[in-house]
Amino acid sequence: MKPSTPTTIADLNPDPANARLHSPRNIGMLVDSLQQLGASRSIVVDENNVVLAGNGVVEAAAEAGITKLRIVDVAGDELVAVRRTGLTPEQKVDLALRDNRVAELAEWDIPVLKALDETMDLSHLFTDTEKSKLFGEEENAPIPGIEEITLKRPAEVVFLLLVIPVDEWPKYQSEVEKLQGVSLIAPSMVTRPAKAEAKTDPEKLEKAS
């Protein structure tokens, strides 16, 4: 049985697996945009009227007093273009800027994203490095060349020798900089690695030949 076509946003259901968080500022900017310029972007719902894309827009629309809804059934083989008329040149630019800015203000819901990562392949969306940053795994990653040290007696200064491969420096740079700010670490002992330049000794080459 085909579900009835909704006519108001109140007939829509939020996505229970939505992995985006919308801060008060994010929703507030959406509300202001809807009130100042009107609705201009479509949302996506499934056959059960669950909002797949645009949950924040629906929330903001309700707050802005927009309740009417128009459903356009498509099979995915055509784009749906929302045509807005009557906007001034300045309003058109403002609309485009707002559209991009509100998207930046939304954040990932990390617990939801982690749960999705366990049940589906997200490699087409995030690299392993990007997921590590999102999930906070890099914060606890050990720095190569450092072993845990237990002090048997109080010490005023602890010197650590960091052995970090040159090509791995960008990965651990932030952690090293954190160490430099700790009172037990001597900043002068933590140095940025430099690539060694290969040098050729003509005399050695002549003897070898």
In tens, the pLDDT along 134-177 reads 998 654 555 555 555 555 555 555 556 666 777 777 777 777 77
Residue 99's identity, in one-letter code, is D
For residue 176, the SS3 value is helix
DSSP for residue 20:
E
pLDDT, greater one: 28 or 162: 28
Angstrom distance (rounded) from CA 164 to CA 167: 8
Mean pLDDT of 66-89: 94
For the chain, the average pLDDT equals 80
**Residue % of the chain over a pLDDT of 70:** 69
Position 174 scores a pLDDT of 73
Q: Which amino acid is at 70?
A: R
First-to-last alpha carbon distance for the chain, in angstroms, is 87
* pLDDT at residue 159, as a whole number: 57
